[in-house]
């Protein structure tokens, strides 16, 4: 629990955590084994909360201010920051005050923290110190904590595919906000979006449960012989290979189903997207995750057109040409966006 807001060590943690959301990790915080235990704990807790404000990271006015120390007096800062920075500062202040009022996440003193981020259109494969492999999809961010007792990943945003190295002595868990995932098997995909959390298990067994509760050994199994695909349930569940579990934001209930081809959900790891009679509006939503330009549909008559095929992630323009060739639509490239309308 943070007890003194003016404590120098905690202010250092706050400053580094805030800067971490705007730039590359500073060299002095890479090797956690040389840092004070309290500093590590404060940093992780504050960074975890700041990451929820991911929209601030790309704000040009905030980026222009990133080199100014957070502890600088207000009268020493530029007056050009405007109301947007004032609002952002108030949000950060409220977040930090919330930490002091409500406590912080428990972090062991010997934990090693690493942060990995991908930009829009970028993918990255990371080998953790325990041998596990994490593949990050576009616009994603994770924090990884490893010590002698556990392996913990915090999925701040985006999507990641996990191939977990066997180590019974050190449980592997993924914290995705209100929901937590405990690994009982080997390979699975987690996608965190503003409206839902999706878990797709390709190998082994994975459990999903509330982040504030421990996994029960008697948690029911979602499999071909267990829960039916149409059933909505609450609580904690073990999810077998071939199944998908989804939890909507603001709703503790879980939806489970077995898609015809679960590998299609993780095809992005190979650089491709697979669509099988998918409505155009959903295809555009997916392409927008990888596109530097915003893709818009400005004709309600085409939103439900069905799309069938495989598209290459790093060739969005080629994918759009394919849509224009196979569907009755027109693709117009503008300066800062791409607009789809019905063909005249």
pLDDT tens by residue, 163-195 = 999 898 888 999 988 778 888 768 999 999 988
**pLDDT in the model for residue 86:** 39
Name, in order, each residue with C-beta under 8 angstroms of 289's C-beta and a sequence gap of 6 or more.
Answer: 120, 137, 138, 139
**pLDDT in the model for residue 45:** 52
For 195-249, the pLDDT digits (tens) are 889 999 999 888 887 777 766 666 767 776 555 444 455 567 888 899 998 888 7
Instruction: Please say whether the beta carbons of 202 and 173 come within 8 A.
Output: no
Instruction: Please state whether 235 falls in left (phi above 0), alpha (psi between -120 and 50) or beta.
Output: left
Task: With respect to residue 223, please indicate whether it lies within any of the assigned structural domains.
Answer: yes
**pLDDT in the model for residue 42:** 52
For 20-73, the pLDDT digits (tens) are 444 444 444 444 434 555 545 555 555 545 544 444 445 555 455 444 444 433
Task: With respect to residue 13, please indicate whether it lies within any of the assigned structural domains.
Answer: yes
Same domain, yes or no, for 181 and 222? Answer: yes
Number of structural domains (the chain) is 3
167 three-state secondary structure: coil
How would you label 98-120 residue by residue, b for 16+ Cβ within 10 Å and e otherwise? ebeeeebbebeeebbbbbbbbee
Final residue before a domain boundary, out of 262, 283, 311? 262
Task: With respect to residue 3, please indicate whether it lies within any of the assigned structural domains.
Answer: no
The model carries a pTM of 0.66
Q: Which helix (H) or strand (E) holds 100?
A: helix 82-102
Distance, in Å, from the CA atom of 320 to the CA atom of 296, rounded to the nearest integer, reads 12
**pLDDT in the model for residue 265:** 92
**Inter-axis angle of helices 8-20 and 37-50, nearest 10:** 40
Task: With respect to residue 1, please indicate whether it lies within any of the assigned structural domains.
Answer: no
Same domain, yes or no, for 317 and 213? Answer: no
For 120-139, the pLDDT digits (tens) are 999 999 999 889 999 999 99
**pLDDT in the model for residue 222:** 77
Please name the residue that has the structure tokens 């789809």. 340
Final residue before a domain boundary, out of 199, 232, 262? 262
142 three-state secondary structure: strand
The domain of 322 spans 271-342
């Amino acid at each position: 629990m943070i007890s003194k807001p003016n404590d120098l060590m905690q202010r250092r943690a706050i400053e580094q955590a805030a800067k971490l959301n705007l730039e590359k990790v500073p060299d002095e915080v890479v090797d956690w084994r040389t840092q004070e235990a309290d500093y590590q704990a404060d940093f992780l807790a504050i960074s975890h909360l700041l990451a929820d404000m991911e929209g601030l990271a790309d704000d040009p006015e905030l980026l222009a201010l990133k080199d100014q120390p957070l502890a600088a007096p207000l009268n020493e800062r530029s007056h050009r920051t405007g109301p947007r920075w004032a609002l952002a500062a108030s949000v950060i202040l409220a977040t930090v005050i919330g930490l002091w009022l409500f406590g912080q996440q428990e972090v062991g003193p010997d934990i090693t923290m690493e942060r990995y981020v991908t930009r829009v259109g970028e993918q990255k494969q990371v080998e953790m110190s325990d041998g596990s492999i994490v593949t990050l999809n576009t616009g994603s961010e994770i924090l990884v904590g490893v010590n002698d007792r556990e392996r913990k990943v915090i999925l701040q945003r985006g999507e990641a595919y996990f191939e977990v190295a066997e180590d019974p002595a050190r449980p592997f868990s993924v914290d995705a906000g209100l929901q937590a995932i405990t690994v009982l098997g080997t390979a699975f995909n987690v996608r965190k979006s503003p409206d839902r959390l999706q878990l797709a298990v390709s190998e082994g067994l994975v459990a999903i449960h509330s982040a504030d509760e421990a996994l029960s050994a008697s948690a029911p199994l979602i499999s071909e012989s267990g829960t039916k695909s149409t059933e909505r349930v609450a609580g904690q569940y073990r999810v077998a290979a071939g199944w998908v579990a989804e939890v909507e934001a603001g709703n503790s209930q879980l939806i489970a189903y077995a898609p015809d081809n679960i590998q299609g959900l993780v095809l992005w790891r190979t650089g491709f997207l697979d669509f099988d009679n998918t409505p155009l509006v959903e295809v555009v939503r997916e392409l927008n995750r990888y596109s530097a330009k915003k893709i818009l549909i400005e004709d309600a008559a085409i939103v439900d057109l069905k799309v069938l095929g495989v598209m290459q992630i790093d060739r969005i323009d080629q994918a759009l040409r394919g849509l224009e060739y196979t569907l009755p639509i027109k693709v117009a490239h503008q300066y800062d966006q791409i607009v789809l309308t019905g063909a005249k």
